[in-house]
Structure 1
Amino acid sequence: MLYPELFKQLEAVRWDMDKDIPWDQFDAAKLSDEQAQTIKMNAITEWAALPATEMFLRDNRDDSDFSAFMSIWFFEEQKHSLVLMEYLRRFRPDLAPTEEELHEVRFEFDPAPALETLMLHFCGEIRLNHWYRRAAEWHTEPVIKHIYTTLSQDEARHGGAYLRYMKRAIAKFGNEAKAAFAKVGVLMASARRTAQALHPTNLHVSKAHYPRDTVQSRLPNPQWLEHWLSEQIQFDAAWESKVVERILHNMSLLMERSFKTVQELNRFRKEIAATLPPAPTYQGA
């Protein structure tokens, strides 16, 4: 089991919201209304760890080890939402999310293959680590800069934990796991070719709720994410390249084969897919 070791590792570096956040360094003159609005949107987005956890527990009923790890991931991700809300409560209470706004992002995700979902969220942690690093640079107020740096470090650790479960999956399922990870890896490393930000909170996850079946579509300002990325924190091609590099680096470690480009990873995906038995076809009466 990985859960006991991961619990010990993450417990050792867990930060305390009262002691480790320098609340007394707040400088009101360095927080703009525009910046404060983005903090509210991020606080609500982080609340979506709740439906994501419900999805993980439902789709991994046969994996108690990973499901137990969700207790750590869920706790730490919800604390991200909480610390952003605490910041607003202290310094911009008029922008603190309402319970109704938070609850709006809790809806049931459609069932999906567990291996592909694992890889999707692994890539999501890498991307969010870079988004928050960039957000820490963009913000000018000292306390929120510290908070975003702290959150980015959490996301990196979560990515490392997911990678451990991916290694375990390859040992257990072999090429089936490799094919699932490579498939999603190609998608998540190809963001420059898509019109939308490739993160789990920005992907369609429920046919019954379409078109409001992404977390971002259920925020008070559904267009916020794209504006935050392009116009505010300016997550440009150079930063996107950092995300792609990290995905390819980790795929290289995971598959024990070097991938310098998305095209190389895609060729590997096709090679692995060719080794798998064809998917069963439905035989009608």
Structure 2
Amino acid sequence: MLYPELFKSMEAVRWNMATDIPWGDFDSSKLSDEQAYTIKMNAITEWAALPATEMFLRDNRDDSDFCAFMSIWFFEEQKHSLALIEYLRRFRPELVPTEEELERVRFEFDPAPALETLMLHFCGEVRLNHWYRRAAEWHSEPVIKAIYRIISQDEARHAGAYLRYMKRALIHHGKELGHQARIAFAKIGVLMASAHRTPQALHPTNLHVNKAMYPEDTVQSKLPTPGWLENWLDNQICFDHEWEIKVSSRILHNMSLLMDSTFNTVQDLNRYRKGLLREMPAGA
């Protein structure tokens, strides 16, 4: 069981919102209206950990270990939202999200294969770590810079935890199920490491998750300004090709370690995926 060890390791580095954020360093002259509004959008986006957790618990009912880990992930993700909301409450109270705005991002996600979803969220955490690192560089106000640095480190730890569960799936599920897990991880890995070739931001909050609500079935579509994410990435924090390559490289590096192979490019991973499909046992 991974949960006890993950709880202990994450408890050891958990930050305190009252004492570890330098609230007293706030400099109003270094926060623009444009920057403050993006903080509101990120606060609401982070709130969507609530429906994601409900999805994880529903789709992993037979995995008590992973569901127990959700108690850590859910707590820390909602804490990110709360920290951003607290920043706005202190310094830009007119931008604090309303309960109605937060409630809008809580809607049901359609059931999905658990292994693909696990890999998708691993990649999402890698991507979010890089987004927040870039956001910390873009902002000039000291307190929000510190907040983004702190929560980016959480996202990296979450990616590491998801990776532990991916490794467990390869080892503990038997040869046939382990093979299926490799296919699932490689398939999503090819998609998520190819984001620099797609017009939309490939992150779980920007993907369609409820056919009955389509096309307004992404978390981002439920925000007060649905198109804010692309503008934030392209024109504000300038998450350019160089940064996308960093995300892709990180995904490929971890896939190499996970699969005990070497993937220098997305094409390498895709060839590996096709090989796995050819080796799939008959009737599987």
Regarding TM over 0.5, the answer is yes
Residue 195 (structure 1) shift? 1.2
Q: Deviations over 1:205-263 (max 9, x none)?
A: 00011111000001000000000000000000000000000000000000000100000
The equivalent residue for 1:195 is 199
Residue 277 (structure 1) shift? 3.7
CA distance in 1, matches of 2:70, 2:154: 14
Q: Deviations over 1:9-40 (max 9, x none)?
A: 00000000001000000000000000000000
Secondary structure at the aligned position of 2:264 is classed as: coil
The equivalent residue for 1:4 is 4
Q: Deviations over 1:128-174 (max 9, x none)?
A: 00000000000000000000000100000000000000000001232
**Does the 8 A contact of 2:120 with 2:192 survive in 1?**
yes
Change (3 A) 1:23 1:5: same
Q: Deviations over 1:70-129 (max 9, x none)?
A: 000000000000000000000000000000000000000000000000000000000000
Report matched runs for 1:1-285 at 5 Å: 1-171=1-171, 172=173, 173-277=177-281
Query: Between Structure 1 and Structure 2, how many residues are aligned?
Result: 280
Point out the more displaced range, 198-207 or 169-178. 169-178
Change (3 A) 1:153 1:279: farther
CA distance in 2, matches of 1:108, 1:248: 31
- TM-score, scaled to structure 1: 0.97
CA distance in 1, matches of 2:86, 2:212: 34
- What amino acid sits opposite 2:138 in the alignment? W
The equivalent residue for 1:283 is none
CA distance in 1, matches of 2:4, 2:12: 13
CA distance in 2, matches of 1:147, 1:225: 19
Secondary structure at the aligned position of 1:174 is classed as: helix
CA distance in 2, matches of 1:279, 1:244: 33
Query: Runs of 4 or more off by more than 3 Å in structure 1?
Result: 277-280
Q: What percent of counterpart residues are identical? A: 77
CA distance in 1, matches of 2:153, 2:59: 27
Q: Deviations over 1:183-204 (max 9, x none)?
A: 0000000112211000000000
Q: What RMSD, in angstroms, separates the aligned Cα atoms of the two structures?
A: 0.8
Residue 279 (structure 1) shift? 6.5
Residue 278 (structure 1) shift? 5.8
- TM-score, scaled to structure 2: 0.97
* Gapped regions of structure 1 (runs ≥ 5): 281-285
CA distance in 2, matches of 1:145, 1:103: 27
- What amino acid sits opposite 2:52 in the alignment? A
